[in-house]
Amino acid sequence: MVKVTSILVAVLLSYTVVQAKLPASAPGIVVNDNVSSDAAGYQVSGNAQHTNTGLHLSLKSNTGKKDLYGKTIEDLSVDVSFETSERLHVRIADKAGKQYLVPDSPLGVERPKISHSAGDLNYDFQYTEKPFAFKVIRKSDNETIFDTTGQPLVFEDQYLELTTKVPNDANLYGFGELTGAYRRNNNANVTTFWARDVADPFYENQYGSHPAYTEIRNGKAHGSLLLNAHGMDIFTVTGRITYKVIGGILDFYFFVPEPAKPNAVVAAYTDLVGKSIMPSLWMLGWNQCRWGYQNISMVENVVEEYKSHNLPLETMWTDIDYMDSYKDFTFDPVRFPVSKVKDFTTKLHANNQRYVVIVDPAISTNSSYEPYSRGHEMDVFMKLNDYKTEYNGQVWPGYTAFPDWFNPKTQDYWSYEISNFMKSVDLDGIWIDMNEPSSFCLGSCGSNKGNQVPPDSSDAEHAKEQAALNALGTGVPGDSRNLLYPQYTINNGAGNLSEKTAPTTATHYGKIPHYDVHNLYGHGESYTTNTAIQSYRPGERAFVLTRSQFVGTGKYAGHWTGDNSATWDYLKVSISAVLQMQQFGIALSGSDICGFLGNTTMELCARWQSLGSFYPLARNHNSEGNIPQEPYVWPEVAESTRNALSIRYTIMPYMYSLFQEANTIGTGVWRPLIFEYPEDNRFLAEDVQFMLGDSILISPVVYQGADSIDAKFPAGIWYDWKDGTAISGPTTQTLHANLTEIPIHIRGGSIIPLKSPKLTVSDTYNTPYGLLVALDKNGTANGRLYIDDGHSIKQDSTSSINFNFSQDTLAAKGQFDYQETTKLEKISVLGGSFTTAVVKGKKYQLQKDDKTGASVAQGFQIDLTSSFTVQFN
């Protein structure tokens, strides 16, 4: 039995009240971040009880100020579980169990089943009895990584508050989804969690909710997650982090890996919430979309233009333009007739290309619309607070109903609609949008108005909506909470919690108010849609791309960063946005390349195509009314795209292996430099340069008019992808890049599997393998190649090949179960002086490649179905 290391003296420090001012990038927002220093707090009641998994405490409220923003809950329970050697679970909950918890299911987070406490813990848990507070301490260096002593604990039905002390200059990463710098401002900053349909504002809440962070102190990392789906503010203020939540419980997980590396924190986090989906190979190809392809002929023309300009194109997308009156699961009979769309997808598939379309959760309430009639009959739509009247919102098709993902019958309903729809034109994937959920009314648009067209938005209409919302009442039967207007007002950028979304008094299956599950709605749709696609194509990896997400959504879907703008600021910040998603376990992620809103420029689009070609999910997408921005529109952009995508498709076996590691280990496909090199303080705030895996450094140009970047290089040797020039780090070098180039360097000590780039993924993968061996100063290198069938969820056989170069010998060992038919035909070496390579007694000459600087041997016919060696001389 693991026991608590010690009981601290119950002396609280004096409180400091800090008035926060947000960064200049978020002007005009007034936020009070004061801690509730005069709150009553709690004390341990009775004796601590040791359990099979750790420790149980009972808490009783102290005398003092109560009911700050809700009704104080007098009796609490604290359950401390030593779940693994690196994961600690501390749950502070109401003893009566009335507060809403994140579901222990795919619609929430499936918690691991823990029956006994772990041994060899990397951490200690300590607590004080009166008032109750606790610490989490990393054993290896006795560092306190979470500390609530001297800070109030508030636990009310609609307000929770807890504060931990951190260093004044804390290096915090996470707390998203947020558009802003990757390293969090810890002087005065608030992150708000309330899913919201909004065009990527800087430093405001938007589509997703991930109340998790990684902190790096003196090169060592740890992490924490508050598993709570309610609206909340998290303040990162000098010397502390303060959580203010409008419901639920304080359900904390702490991640303390050894060695204490940032990537190990991400791996431990995804051990809990779930690893990222494993994409099919085709999902790594280039994607083209826009809102504004008015008919199928325009879409067909785009495909032809890509081909005529010799540009890779894997997947063509269409936005809501294809729909009949913007209704889900329909095609406009004139502009997108089903027969022509089916002919189009047939042609795409014959060319090894794909087709994906958008689907919104909002279902038109038109009485002649069968998806609504079926859902109505099955009773699967969200209700108002009388538990029986369907909630009506307003989205693109007019008045709409919303599937309730928490209703067990909804899966059958959604699977039927998705399967029939995909089958009708042989679709390859589904893109789900507007799933915060978004609605254009304030709260409810009224009861079912059938075929009536909603009125135009106006101040007068908005006032009517406000009055109608209030008339519904502020709560639900049997619940005393004010769900419309909680006393603590989170810093929701939209103001009213029901603005442009479902009313917080709407209800879900089991009489659950929307107030309690709002942040889970897009997550629920992601799981339900993934399951629906699998029912259509059993055994095949499903492609789902979602806008709204929650903790663990990466198990079911990828994510794009929403409605960004065609500006240089959004080009730069897209790097932080993608890095953030990698940290949260959503590896298949990217931003709309060249910008969604507004008109791009040739220069901006050229730079963005170069960067975006390396997003884990790479898609050009813009909005209706804007100028076209397909890469072939400008010759310079076409050239930058060809150059960058040629590299992406060349290193695709490396990228696919990284996705497999994300799916099994949990590490990101993209990685911040500080996560790879946590001891190098130059990278603490670096969010322009980034790593693709652990072997490729990308240094994009992200400023208008610039033709260079002052790039920081970690310790070691770094080889220029273009010409093989070696740079010895640590150093900073000015790298020049014309408009059609992006600086890329290979880490010395890496071995990268390669293919020959073609216009589609399948054609690329039909070419022989190559290896790029980049030697370190000791003449050694390592790498890995993962091979499977590229599309099945369950694999009968896979290969995981580990390459090692030392003492002038390349050795391949590992698992060789997949019967790969393509051969290894070419090996390029950077950093060595070799003239010959010998395989099974046969000698091959190495030739210097004047362009890449590598020594190249080719003509091998090496099977990748068993171990082998290559001797270099």
Q: Which residue has the tokens 């990828």?
A: 558
Retrieve residue 795's tokens.
């694999």
- The answer to whether residues 496 and 442 touch, using CB atoms and an 8 Å cutoff, is yes
At residue 801, the 3 state secondary structure works out as strand
Q: Which residue has the tokens 């990685």?
A: 671
Q: Which of 100, 737, 90 is nearest to 406 (CA)?
A: 100
- The answer to whether residues 232 and 192 touch, using CB atoms and an 8 Å cutoff, is yes
- Angle at which helix 338-350 crosses helix 296-308, to 10 degrees, equals 20
Measured in Å, how far apart are the chain's first and last C-alpha atoms? Answer: 58
Q: How far apart are CA 631 and CA 309, in angstroms?
A: 9
Residue 416: its H or E element: helix 410-425
- How far apart, in Å, are the Cα atoms of 578 and each of 181, 429, 668? 12, 21, 10
- The answer to whether residues 307 and 818 touch, using CB atoms and an 8 Å cutoff, is no
Retrieve residue 618's tokens.
């790479």
Pairing of strands 154-156, 220-226: unpaired
- How far apart, in Å, are the Cα atoms of 840 and each of 807, 814, 815, 871? 18, 19, 21, 9
DSSP category for residue 328:
T
Indicate the residue type of 657.
Answer: S
- Report DSSP letters for 493-543, one per residue: TTSSTTBTS--TT-EETTTEEHHHHGGGHHHHHHHHHHHHHHHHSTTBPP-
Dihedral pair phi/psi, residue 260, rounded to 5° = -85, 65
Pairing of strands 42-44, 54-61: antiparallel
Q: Which residue has the tokens 């290096």?
A: 171
Q: How far is CA 768 from the centre of its chain?
A: 33
Indicate the residue type of 634.
Answer: W
At residue 118, the 3 state secondary structure works out as coil
At residue 1, the 3 state secondary structure works out as coil
Positions marked catalytic = 433, 436, 563
At residue 709, the 3 state secondary structure works out as strand
